Structure 1
Amino acid sequence: MAAEWERGLRAGMLASGSLLADVLDSYVSMRERTGSAPSSVAEWRCFCRKVRRRMPRASAVDVTTRDLQDFELALLAPESSGGGEGMSRNSVRAVHNFLRAAFRRIVAEGVRQDDPMAAVEKPRAERHEDRSLGEWDMPLLLDRLSSVLSDADPASTDYAVAVAAWLALVTGMRVGETCALRRRDVRPRDPSVHVCGSVTESGGLRRLDVTKGRRSRTVSVTRRDMDQIMAVIAAQDSEVGGLGPDSPLVTTDGSVMRPSSVSRRFARMARDVGLPKGSRFHMLRHTHATWCLSHGVDLKTVSLRLGHADETTTLRAYAHALPGSDSAAAETFSAALEESVEDCHIGARRNGRVKRGPKAKRQAGTRDASAKAAAPTYKK
């Protein structure tokens, strides 16, 4: 039996005919060893647990398209319906993409001949406009950040969260990137900051020397912003102490902070100052991109500042913020409307037809009758 089991192995995959959940776990381990992001690996393991809970006896060889379709429908069903997961369509789309990639690998390794996921219908994506701060809300946040950075203890959590929020607002960094920004990444002469890392909590809190987009970038800041960064460093040196070039800029004691903790504390700050309900840390990144685009910064530059793979990603997320086309349409319509009204007045004056009210019409009729009576008559 052991020899038969060994012959069924396919290049690191589990034996043909084994449980689907075990094969998926093996696939995730392979992706982890080949360099997938820790956050992605953590998400995939969560998907594997859902498969194990929903289809505990499903075989990687015998599972059908109907089984996988029912599995995704169960994830979409609300919890009140009797056993549903209540996941959003976008989350189930992520599960679908994971299973699709896994079964392509399973087929390529020869574990089975057909791909049952090829016929599973993917849920339609939910489109949500990225929330950003408007002109009414921005002063509220800036006043709070300024107050904390001026008065709070540099060794306090509130101070560190305010630093992270301010960095995200002026550079468009993600929360994990703000937590990973080191002192040596600050370049006062340019002035700019070098975004080259991210903090992850998957598998333990640690700093990665790579961003989520797998590409480092240099983001320019104004001289005034650089003065604020240097003021933060000076305040930390006086209160925290023991900080060196590799110390994070967002810290309370010289160690990296948890991105989840920073996000939670910012959500509390946003609620206290009266920002819109549901405001979260990632909104600061959207605000930076939206304000840049709406004030004339070109799409390529914004894409580079955000660290997107290409301009298509930026355009898909922030097309609503691009100026020009809609305002041009408003100006064109207004000009056409004014031209049409002017043409109507000219035509009325030219033909002697002026719109008159009922009283003006009666007076005009009386004058016409008097003129007709006074006019001489001629007999033929």
Structure 2
Amino acid sequence: MRGHIRKRGNSWVIVAYLGRDPQTGKRRYQWQSVKGNKKQAEKELTALLTRLENGIYIKPTKMTVEEYLEQWLQDYVSSNVRPRTREDYTSKVRLHIIPELGRVGLTELQPSHIQAFYRKKLESGRIDGKGGLSARTVLHLHRILSESLEHAMRWGYVGRNVARLVDPPRAIHKEMQTLNADEVHKLLDAFKGTIYYPITYLAIHTGLRRSELLGLRWRDVDLDMATLSVVQVLLTLNGGIVHFQEPKTHKSRRQVSLAPSVALELRKHKEDQQINYMMTGNQLTPDSLVFSHSDGAPILPSAVSHNFVKIARHIGLVGVRFHDLRHTHATLLLKDGIHPKVVQERLGHSNISMTLDTYSHVTPDMQRSAAQALEKVLSRERPFQGAN
């Protein structure tokens, strides 16, 4: 298969001859604009000819990045991802990606365009104009853009995913906050008498995510057997619209055992909730939410987080988030010698490596405990006699 390159202004054009059209007899060409030097253009030409020889024909298109992304949102995202994710993708694409890259031709999009896009977002990417986006947010934009271009390649619009050739910023790892036993008791004392005490109490004792706790119904709780089942989560969409959906993964859909004291606390909470329902003319049913307002309306996730931070800060626990109760649950269990597999199952992690990687700060203690345990076993079998 034949091809050549030619200079055009500050860029290069690579051209591949496709032969004659069998119907019209006209010569057909595949061309592509490349930014960079001659060597890069020659490399792109070789890659294009290889794709064509392997039967991967990229039909020339004048489609822009904006036109393609809107098509991707409509044809793929709208029917293949969950509502919360769909809303997130749509927002990120229209508020960040399209304004910066939308006018570029889809087949002319280069790694340099994307790299400059990331740099700009890090420097001044906030919608309110107050500085740049975090590295974590820009990394999220990278993943969305890369996923969209992966589909563009599958659909035959482009011959490669140029986002793969770009190094996204590395998200800065934030040290998780965990509480010790004294801080847990101090926190619970501060929440007593508030609407948020029961959910805070259960978060500490189960490690459930905020969305899982808010999605719990009384039919999902077996107080006699002291278990609860995670079968749905509560999320909010734009405008504060409450949305219930199944947990993301199979492992997230799980049963969690409760200590007798926790089951007793939940029973008391149910009795109090029943009285509050009756006072507002409502009736508690198996489908009623375990955590709700007195009229049965769901508690919004943002309200839980906001009030938690407010009360925690008031008692000197600055920087502690509601999600840190999940970390606290796992850390306290691991430090007490509970097997990581059990902790993984309680948290609903997809695999044990995720649990160990997330709570790697605990493993040094586990290593010391393991060494001491082995020493204890071996010393019982044969006392250490030292060197002769």
Query: Taking structure 1 as the reference length, what is the TM-score of the superposition?
Result: 0.74
Instruction: Tell me the CA shift for residue 58 of structure 1.
Output: 2.0
How far does the alpha carbon of each residue in 1:285-329 deviate from its partner, in whole angstroms, 9 at most, with x for none? 111111111111111111111111111211111111233214567
Q: Distance in 1 between matches of 2:225 and 2:77?
A: 37
2:244 is aligned to: 208
1:1-380 alignment, distance < 5 Å: 16-48=61-93, 49-77=95-123, 86-145=132-191, 147-148=192-193, 158-159=194-195, 161-202=196-237, 205-214=241-250, 215-241=252-278, 242-252=283-293, 253-275=295-317, 277-322=318-363, 323-326=365-368
Deviation at 1:170, TM superposition (A): 0.8
Amino acid of the residue matched to residue 300 of structure 2?
A: R
Q: How far did 1:331 drift?
A: 11
**Separation of aligned partners in 2, 1:207 and 1:75:** 31
Query: What do residues 158-188 of structure 1 show as CA deviations (whole Å, max 9, x unaligned)?
Result: 31x2222112111111111111100111111
- Secondary structure at the aligned position of 1:297 is classed as coil
Q: After the TM superposition, which parts of structure 1 deviate over 3 Å for at least 4 consecutive aligned residues?
A: 28-35, 212-215, 326-332
Report the structure, 1 or 2, having the larger helix content: 1
SS in 1 for 2:299: coil
Cα distance in structure 2, aligned partners of 1:201 and 1:327: 43
Aligned pair in 2 of structure 1 residues 136, 16: CA closer, same or farther (>3 Å)?
A: farther
Match of 2:106, SS state, is: coil
Output the aligned Cα RMSD.
2.5
Distance apart, 1:210 and its partner CA: 0.9
User: What SS is found at the alignment partner of 1:287?
Assistant: helix
Structure 1 pair 89–330 and aligned structure 2 pair: CA distance change class (3 A): farther
Give, in whole Å, the separation in 1 of the partners of 2:80 and 2:154: 20
SS at match of 2:275: helix
After TM superposition, the structure 1 stretch with the greater mean CA deviation from structure 2, 198-207 or 214-223, is: 198-207
Gap change, CA 1:87 and 1:31, over 3 Å in 2: same
Partners of 2:372 and 2:131 in 1: CA distance: 46
Structure-2 separation of matches of 1:17 and 1:270: 55
Give the Cα–Cα distance (whole angstroms) in 1 for the partners of residues 302 and 67 of structure 2: 30
Larger CA deviation: 101-110 vs 162-171: 162-171
Conservation of the 8 A alpha-carbon contact between 1:191 and 1:226 = yes
CA distance in 2, matches of 1:30, 1:299: 42
Q: Which residue of 2 aligns with 1:359?
A: none
Pair 35,233 (structure 1): closer, same or farther in 2 beyond 3 Å: farther
Note the residue ranges of structure 2 that are not aligned, 5 or more in a row: 1-59, 375-385
Q: Is the 8 A contact 1:188 1:226 kept in 2?
A: yes
Evaluate the alpha carbon distance shift between residue 328 and residue 218 of structure 1 in structure 2; reply closer, same or farther with a 3 A threshold: closer
Partners of 1:111 and 1:101 in 2: CA distance: 14
Q: Deviations over 1:333-380 (max 9, x none)?
A: xxxxxxxxxx9xxxxxxxxxxxxxxxxxxxxxxxxxxxxxxxxxxxxx
Q: How many pairs were matched up?
A: 305
SS state of the match for residue 251, structure 1?
coil
Q: Distance in 1 between matches of 2:202 and 2:181?
A: 19
Measured in 2, the distance between the counterparts of 1:117 and 1:313 equals 26
Structure 2 counterpart SS, 1:199: strand
Equivalent position SS for 1:208: strand
The AA in structure 1 aligned to 2:327 is H
In our comparison, the structure showing a higher alpha carbon Rg is: 1
Alpha-carbon distance between aligned partners in 2 of 1:187 and 1:331, rounded to the nearest angstrom: 37
| Contact 2:206/2:258 (8 A) holds in 1 | yes
Higher strand share: 2
Q: Which region of structure 1 is more displaced relative to structure 2, 173-182 or 49-58?
A: 49-58
TM-score by length of 2: 0.72
Identity %: 27
Deviation at 1:281, TM superposition (A): 0.8
Q: Name the SS for the 1:61 alignment partner.
A: helix
AA partner of residue 168 (structure 1): A
Equivalent-residue separation in structure 2 for 1:298 and 1:78 (angstroms): 46
How far apart are the structure 2 equivalents of 1:85 and 1:102? 27
SS of alignment partner, residue 194 of structure 1? strand
